[in-house]
Structure 1
Amino acid sequence: MYIVEKQSQKLLTLPAKEVKGKSLSVFGSELANRILKFLPEGPAYPKEIAQKLNVHEQKVYYHIKNFERNGLVRVARTENRQGAVAKYYELTEPAFVVRFSDLRETTKISATNENAQKFLDPFVKDGKLNCTIIIGSPQSHGPERARSNDGYYAIDIALFLGSYLSYYSPEPVVKLDTELRNGDLKQNIISLGGPIVNKITERMNAKMPVRFDYKTKNIISKVSGKTYNADETGLVVKMPNPYSKGHWIIIVAGKRYSGTRAATIALTKHTEELAKGNKKDKKVFAKVVEGLDLNSDGIVDEIEFLE
Structure 2
Amino acid sequence: MMAKWIVESKDGKHVGLPAKILRAEHIKSISSPMSWKILQAITEKPMYPKEIARKLRIHEQKVYYHVRNLAKAGIIRVSKQENMHGVIAKFYDIDQPAFAVALREMQELQKIPSPRNEFLYPHVKDGKLETLIVVGSLESHGPEKVKARDAPFAINLGLFLGSFLGYMPSLSVRIDTELQREEMKNNMIIVGGPAVNKIAGLINSKLPINFKTSQKQGNFYSTVFSSLSKKSYDGEEIGIIVKAKNPFDESKSVMLLAGRRSQGTKAAIIALMKNFDEVCAGNRHNPKVFAKVVEGIDSDSDGIIDSVEIKE
- Partners in 2 of 1:241 and 1:115 — Cα distance? 20
2:200: which partner in 1?
Answer: 201
Q: Residues of 2 paired with 1:151 and 1:220: CA distance?
A: 25
Q: Percent identity?
A: 43
Question: Are residues 1:119 and 2:124 paired?
Answer: no
Structure 1 stretches of at least 4 aligned residues deviating more than 2 Å after TM superposition: 102-107
- 2:141 alignment partner in structure 1: 141
Q: Which residue of 2 aligns with 1:53?
A: none
- 1:252 to 2:257 alignment: yes
Q: Which residue of 2 aligns with 1:175?
A: 174
Q: Which residue of 2 aligns with 1:85?
A: none
CA distance in 2, matches of 1:251, 1:104: 32
- Distance in 2, matches of 1:17 and 1:213, equals 55
Match among 262, 274, 279 for residue 274 of structure 1: 279
Code of the residue aligned with 2:141 in structure 1: it is H
1:1-307 correspondence to structure 2 within 5 Å: 18=11, 97=12, 104-105=16-17, 114-169=114-169, 171-215=170-214, 217-307=222-312
Shift in Å at residue 120 of structure 1? 0.5
Aligned residue type for 2:183: D
SS in 2 for 1:105: strand
TM-score, normalising length from structure 2?
0.63
Task: Report the alpha carbon displacement of residue 105 of structure 1 after superposing the two structures with TM.
Answer: 2.6
Distance in 2, Cα, partners of 1:210 & 1:284: 10
- Which residue does 1:82 correspond to in 2? none
Q: Measure the CA separation in 1 of the matches of 2:16 and 2:177.
A: 42
Corresponding letter in the other structure for 1:261: K
Which amino acid in structure 2 is aligned with residue 231 of structure 1? E
**Could you tell me which residue of structure 2 aligns to residue 24 of structure 1?**
none
Q: Secondary structure at the match of 2:121?
A: coil
In structure 2, what is the Cα distance between the partners aligned to 1:205 and 1:280? 20
Q: How many angstroms does 1:255 deviate by?
A: 1.0
Kept after mapping to 2: 8 A contact 1:137/1:197: yes
Opposite residue 295 of structure 2, the aligned amino acid is E
Instruction: Give the direction of change, closer, same or farther, for the CA distance of 1:224–1:17 in structure 2 (3 Å limit).
Output: closer
State the shift of 1:236 in Å. 0.3
Q: Secondary structure at the match of 1:152?
A: helix
| Amino acid of the structure 2 residue aligned with 1:105 | L
* Cα drift, residue 117 of structure 1: 2.1
> Partners in 2 of 1:105 and 1:280 — Cα distance?
38
- RMSD across aligned positions (CA): 2.1
User: Aligned equivalents of 2:305 and 2:148: distance in 1?
Assistant: 18
Residue identity matched to 1:178: T
Higher relative strand content: 2
Q: CA deviation at 1:137?
A: 0.3
| Aligned-partner Cα distance in 1 for 2:231–2:283 | 13
SS of 2:139's partner is: coil
Gaps of 5+ in 2: 1-8, 20-112, 215-220
CA displacement, residues 250-301 of structure 1 (integer Å, 9 cap, x when unaligned): 0000111111100011122222111211111112111100001111111110
Deviations 1:120-170 (A, max 9, x none): 01111111100010000010111221100111100001000101111103x
Q: Name the SS of the counterpart of 1:236 in structure 2.
A: strand
Structure 1 position 17, deviation (Å): 9.0
Cα separation, 1, equivalents of 2:190 and 2:225: 18
Distance 2:15 2:234 in 1: 54
- TM-score normalised by structure 1 residue count: 0.63
Query: Tell me, which stretches of 5 or more residues in structure 1 are unaligned?
Result: 1-15, 19-96, 108-112
Tell me the matched-pair count: 205
